[in-house]
Chain A
Amino acid sequence: MSGLRKTSFNRIWATPLTLAIIMVTSLVGALVAEDVWDWFFTFDLTGVLLYTIVKGYRFD
């Protein structure tokens, strides 16, 4: 039962949590770093947006 709950939790939250962590890391990272790192963190944020859009258009 708890295994089932865990699976359900993972299925629902794994992706949103990962995206949130990437986003916070990028927002704070770009504030702390500069030059090439700004590009890197901006690329991360763009990736989150693109992933969301692609996912949304994937389903029927």
Chain B
Amino acid sequence: MTTEAPRLRALRFWSAVHTWTSLISMTFLLMMCLTGLPLVFHEELDELLGYEPEVPTLSAGTPHMALDRIVAAAAAKRPREVLQFVGLPKGEPDIAAVGLSKTLRTLPSDSFLDMDRRTAEVLLEKKPGTGPVAFLLKLHTDMFLGLPGKLFLGLMGFLFVIAVVSGIVLYGPFMKKLDYGTVRRKRSARIKWLDWHNLIGVSTLAWALVVGATGTVNTWAELMLGLWQTGQLAEMTAPYRDAPRPTTLTSLDAAVATAQAAAPGMRPQFIAFPGTPFSSNNHYAVFMAGKTPLTSRLFKPALIDAGTGALTDMRDMPWYMQGFFLSQPLHFGDYGGLPLKIVWSLLDLATIVVLVSGLYLWLVRHRQGERRVAHARAGSVPGSTPQPAR
């Protein structure tokens, strides 16, 4: 009696935590699971729908043109916009994605031009945020509400993590007399779905925790970026704080070559022009990345003086930015090729089953409770033999 009472209280507490964290976050989690399903295949869908450039076949070994020439061609295509960024995607050696906007500090860029690095021809013009995949991504990440939407969904993700943890706490006592994998299909629908809920939930809990936690971290992207800009980046560019932007910029190719010489074994992945939010007024920021699957996701910005072409600073990004970069693939599952994406989508479907079955179990139990109260008020005591969970 003395030991059972606190145990029962603890069980009730965790049961309430599990119920309410799940119920509160349910609608948003379902939305995120449903929109997340096609987003796992974002690359394939973009390609299918024509939002990915088609790279023409040229003779093998066709050399790349100078980046200066490529960005000049992009700028000529958009004379009213200024150059902001150049992306050199890892898996697309012949493509340079050039970002341009009406002002240097506009984020995201007004337009992106995918340029052929061998011919300096425009392969594809893109407006960020257009197309079905971008629509789903926006719905998935902030519900078109900007930062407040992101932080709200982050909170829902956090509630989901608590729901999973409380589910683990409850799993032990519920399974005292049952073996792992028991599904009593001949019992009532409620018992059957309770068993499936427990089985799928406990089997996929590691994935659910990883995706839930990394999804929450992803919603802090803007906050972390702001922290980096006011912290490390401000520190790296402090000597140039009040200096004006150079009127003539040094060669982009020379800046990239300087960064590469300072970070052998790494490759440039993203370059920010002077005056953009990822650099200072006076620097090209060349974001170098490693060549292995893991290190290719971790950036090391090299700041190159855009007036003289000299390297002024180069540091690893802080831990929270590195954590953010790693949390992205672990959330979207787009890092192990198509087979992993298929498994990811199956795990997503499994989570939908857990969510819907959880809602069903709550509804059934809620109705049973209401019926008992109604009968008690009417003076009868039906269901005096409560339906056992096991």
B180 touches A55 (CB 8 A): yes
A59 touches B184 (CB 8 A): yes
B343 touches A45 (CB 8 A): yes
A52 CB, nearest partner CB in chain B, Å: 4
Classify the secondary structure of B's interface with A.
Answer: helix
Contact residues in B for A21 (Cβ distance below 8 Å):
206
Q: How far is the CA of A21 from the CA of B347 in the complex (A)?
A: 16
Interface assignment of B176: CB less than 8 Å from any CB of chain A: yes
Q: How far is the CA of A44 from the CA of B334 in the complex (A)?
A: 17
B340 touches A38 (CB 8 A): yes
A19 touches B203 (CB 8 A): yes
Contact residues in B for A57 (Cβ distance below 8 Å):
183
- CB contacts under 8 Å to B, within A8-48, are 8, 11-16, 19-21, 23-24, 27, 30-34, 38-39, 41-42, 45-46, 48
B330 touches A27 (CB 8 A): yes
Smallest CB gap from B346: residue in A? A49
Q: How far is the CA of A34 from the CA of B293 in the complex (A)?
A: 7
* Contact for B293 among A19, A24, A31, A60, CB less than 8 A: A31
A12 touches B180 (CB 8 A): yes
A31 touches B326 (CB 8 A): yes
Interface assignment of A58: CB less than 8 Å from any CB of chain B: yes
Smallest CB gap from A48: residue in B? B203
* Contact for A56 among B183, B210, B294, B326, CB less than 8 A: B183
Stretch in B21-29, B104-112, B194-202 with 4+ CB within 8 Å of A: B194-202
Smallest CB gap from A51: residue in B? B203
Smallest CB gap from B326: residue in A? A31
* Contact for B204 among A11, A12, A52, CB less than 8 A: A52
A12 touches B171 (CB 8 A): yes
- CB contacts under 8 Å to A, within B183-228, are 183-186, 195-196, 199-200, 202-207, 210
B183 touches A59 (CB 8 A): yes
Contact residues in B for A48 (Cβ distance below 8 Å):
203-204
Contact residues in A for B369 (Cβ distance below 8 Å):
none
A56 touches B196 (CB 8 A): yes
Given A31-B294, A46-B343, the answer on whether A12 and B181 have CB atoms closer than 8 Å is no
A15 touches B180 (CB 8 A): yes
Smallest CB gap from B339: residue in A? A42
B335 touches A30 (CB 8 A): yes
B293 touches A15 (CB 8 A): no
Smallest CB gap from A19: residue in B? B203
Q: How far is the CA of A38 from the CA of B335 in the complex (A)?
A: 9
Contact residues in A for B293 (Cβ distance below 8 Å):
31-34
B329 touches A31 (CB 8 A): yes
Contact residues in A for B340 (Cβ distance below 8 Å):
30, 38, 41-42, 45
Please, could you name 30 A-B residue pairs with CB atoms under 8 Å apart, sorted by A?
A8-B176, A11-B179, A12-B175, A12-B176, A12-B180, A16-B180, A16-B203, A19-B202, A19-B203, A20-B205, A27-B206, A27-B210, A27-B330, A31-B329, A32-B294, A34-B292, A38-B340, A39-B337, A42-B337, A45-B343, A48-B204, A49-B343, A51-B203, A52-B181, A52-B199, A56-B181, A56-B183, A56-B200, A59-B185, A60-B185
Interface set of B (CB-CB < 8 Å, partner A):
171-172, 175-176, 179-186, 195-196, 199-200, 202-207, 210, 292-294, 326, 329-330, 335-337, 339-340, 343, 346-347, 350
Closest 6 CB pairs between A and B?
A55-B181, A23-B206, A52-B203, A30-B336, A20-B206, A15-B180
